[in-house]
Structure 1
Amino acid sequence: IMYNFMMFMVWVIRPNTINPWYRKKIHLNHHKTSGTAQDIEERLVGNGIKNHLLRMLVVFDGLLGLIVRSKQFSREITGYKFFTLFNAGFPLTTIYYIVLYSFLLFHTFNFIVEYMAVLIHYPTWLMTLVEWINFTMVVWIAPSFLRSACLNFVTSSMHYYGGAFNMLQQTQVLNHWFFMPFQLFCFNFGNTHTIHHFVPSQPFYIRQMISKRVNVFLKEKGVKFNDLTSILAANRYPSSQQFSN
């Protein structure tokens, strides 16, 4: 009971992700297939995308990213089914996107008509609904959007895609100053997540406590640090150094 309660609360805090019970399945797959085309978890957040405009779309809007790339996933990922993944977001993720798109649609339309000096009398029920949408956007949707955008950008940048052959080459450590604003909203993920690939069951806050000492050890063993050029190369591990570790 406690396990399922905690899983549900995680989903409440992160409504723009698929439900944690299904995500557990694809996260275990991530550890088995990291760096390959079969790693759907990282591909869903932008890892391995060459087109940087598409990458930003995926980082900020997972639903549009999923829709745009569904055919590609069908060709490349074994067992991929769009509706299985889409339905894994019901009902919280569904509510998240309904509120988000409704907020953007209404306020964009309202801005345009005000700019054109067009007078529109909205019905009372609509304005009441908009008040609730505004409130939900501020206290629930926007914080989740900010957190997920920062996390998606960092995780899709630090995981390698293609050319990786062992666990030392699955990820890099990102602690460059450029990433600090994003790290603030994902608990220093780029600096600590590599540890998770070696000790998956370790809580994130423990990783933060030990990261300073462990990162020294990882660097000695050949894990890359701040390989920013890989981001421009669709996260491919440097071919000239594939076997250096």
Structure 2
Amino acid sequence: MAITQKSIKILWSASGGLCAFPDCRQRLTFSEAGDFAPYTLGEMAHICGDQPGANRHNAAQTPQERDDYQNLILLCPTHHTLIDRAENEGRFPVEFLHQIKADHEAFVRLRLHAVPATDKQAIAREISPLLAANHQVWLNYGPLSDFARKNPNNDAAYAVWLSERLGTIVPNNRRIAEVLNEGVHAFTPAEQAIIADFQLHARSYERWVADEIAYEGVVRFPKAFAELIEETLHAST
């Protein structure tokens, strides 16, 4: 039994692409630097060890349970090694790992919680950097990026693109949607229609990343939404 794509995507998305170990939160994907290609550092550690003799191994688990999202925690290599050292089994029991995973995922959700904005420009200021971050991910790692074109079958490049969608684009889209839900009434009916188009895009994009729908079902990103945010950001007060 192997970890399924569904469990991988849930784990990376819920963890925000960050190490779940307390006070670490290291970013687990990295862009190109010099001659080095984009790469991931994230390791999907088993809470109950996957092999007999491994730390916290539970012989009563089925193979499916062992490789399920519920039994996985996303860590950097340093902390994965730390929790799996034989001498540390008592220091990092199952209950502790479940708790730090839950705490970390709660932190990620809280980070996405939007402070209600009272005017259009405040909303635009909140959204603009999130859109910019998403656009940079697309430019650097997307299927039309220079690296993807030069390395069409590069597994490492695809892994970074997948993890960036899960750890950056999906969480950013969620936050944008929350900001808009709080402040949509600050916009005109015509602008609200553009916002609705973005929200449709964000929901369908997340469903595609989670393998719930085919790519053909994704609503294209509405350029009018980016233009609306940009125009609002620079509008005179």
TM-score by length of 2: 0.29
Structure number with higher strand proportion: 2
Structure number with higher helix proportion: 1
TM-score by length of 1: 0.29
